[in-house]
Structure 1
Amino acid sequence: MRISIDIPDNIARTAELTEAELLREIAVLLFQQERITLGKAAQIARMHQFEFQHLLANRDICVHYGLEEYQADMKSLRENNWR
């Protein structure tokens, strides 16, 4: 699914948000609400996962890292031949 959001220019200017900043804010919000994983949030924010973790740390947002995320990370590491 692809979602497009049309925000009038005057509202975007008033909020003083660029498209990249808005995407980051949406990603942070969804991650905080535990609606998406860290990896998915980083994708939405168009950031490397480590950069997104740094963003969260700067905002004092805990990274809830459960078994599911650990298993997904391990699978990704194996698939990319990380040792």
Structure 2
Amino acid sequence: MIVTIDIPDRIAQSAELTQAELLREIAVLLFQQERITLGKAAQIAKMHPFELQKLLASRKIPIHYGLEEYEADVASLRQHGWR
């Protein structure tokens, strides 16, 4: 399933966020709320998982990452061509 979100330019401009920044913020928020795994957040943010980890660390957001999340991330990353 692909979800498309239309955000009017005036709203994005008033928030002073680029599309890439907005995607990162959505990914960080969903990860912080434990709604998605680190790998899925990295996909949303269009970042390598290690880069996302650095971003989370800079914001003092803990990495909740157990074996189940690891396995889900590995499967998801392989499915999307990450190595």
The TM-score bracket by the shorter chain reads: 0.7 to 0.9
Residue by residue, what CA displacement relative to the aligned partner does 1:42-67 show, whole Å, maximum 9, x if unpaired? 01000000000000000000001112
TM-score between the two structures when normalised by the length of structure 1: 0.83
Q: What amino acid does structure 2 have at the position aligned with 1:22? A: L
Q: CA RMSD in A?
A: 2.0
TM-score between the two structures when normalised by the length of structure 2: 0.83
> Where does the alignment leave 5 or more consecutive residues of structure 1 unmatched?
77-83
Q: Quote how far apart the aligned CAs of 1:36 are.
A: 0.5
User: Aligned residues: percent identity?
Assistant: 76
Q: Distance in 2 between matches of 1:3 and 1:51?
A: 24
The count of residues paired between Structure 1 and Structure 2 equals: 77
- Greater relative CO (CA pairs within 8 A, separation 6+): 2
1:38 is matched with which residue? 38
Q: What amino acid does structure 1 have at the position aligned with 2:18? A: T
Structure having the higher Rg = 1
